[in-house]
Structure 1
């Protein structure tokens, strides 16, 4: 069975490949977006991560006739009522400007005390079949917002995120190896919840 992964991010595809391999799910071929039939990608104008994940997965399944998996993710800061949330990638106004996004968030949280800096990386993964079957799974990676960027690995808000798993060691997400991050990450947790759905579809 072929599954379209509605992303050109090789890390996302690799993460799902490792999860399926560890669960011994056979008979599945993952197809990245750039190897699928070309179609116009939809506008991600949902109000929630689930909305945007479903928008992408529905479009992929409809346009290619393949089972499609898509995710939407971002950083949710409790003090900001869950923002940046779905606006994470464009928090400072321009999509994908990590430095500006981080600087703006640090400025907004500059005077917030340590006991109110809780945050979480959140990922919602959607799986949609051409027949219209839909599944959603959410993964959360809890942590604390640091006061300055720390570490050179990762991307986005990784340098500002101190995972709850790493408080004793004091390592930000940007100081973890890719393997360590994958084993803890929000996306990995969400994808793992879809394993049995994928196994069932592959066995049909």
Structure 2
């Protein structure tokens, strides 16, 4: 496991066009890398924002017959009652918190950092935001679910992000992570955070992917949460 983490390449980064005063840390989905999302953010970039798209370590994934692939944690099943990789999720969350700490050391305060992700990465971004003491600028959760939801609200009782703004998006034609998962997640989030700060958007005919309309909604959200200073 340590060996895997040691061999993870450096994140794909879209640098700010001028001095970076804010950052987005965005986590890709299962089997992917950060490169595609870095390209997507390059298309909607805001000049003072740095976009950091880390790559998950290579791990065996139970859901995919034990094949090794980029994965933040093991996924055992996609049913609502499936067993979850609690140790893996918590370890991955600590790694993301360390990444946030690194940006703080680089001079960007945590409240000027938006955390986000797609699918498995979105699940991890939600879990991390709800369990960290780092006050974040917001969360973008795409086509995902809330992992270890039964261990909340204990884990989030002391969260610094009860008032954070959340943009949650989901395709209505998603065959992998059904939109009902998104609906269940948003209802749970409303019990953990200020409900008026949670926005849930769905996109007709969108499968388990992104679309231009969604990317523009993300751009608008980031610009609102991370204005120039």
Work out whether the TM-score is over 0.5.
Answer: no
**Rg (Cα) greater in structure:** 1
When the two structures are superposed, what TM-score results if normalisation uses the length of structure 1?
Answer: 0.36
When the two structures are superposed, what TM-score results if normalisation uses the length of structure 2?
Answer: 0.33
- By relative contact order (CA 8 Å, sep 6+), the higher-ranking structure is 1
Please identify which structure carries the higher helix content.
Answer: 1
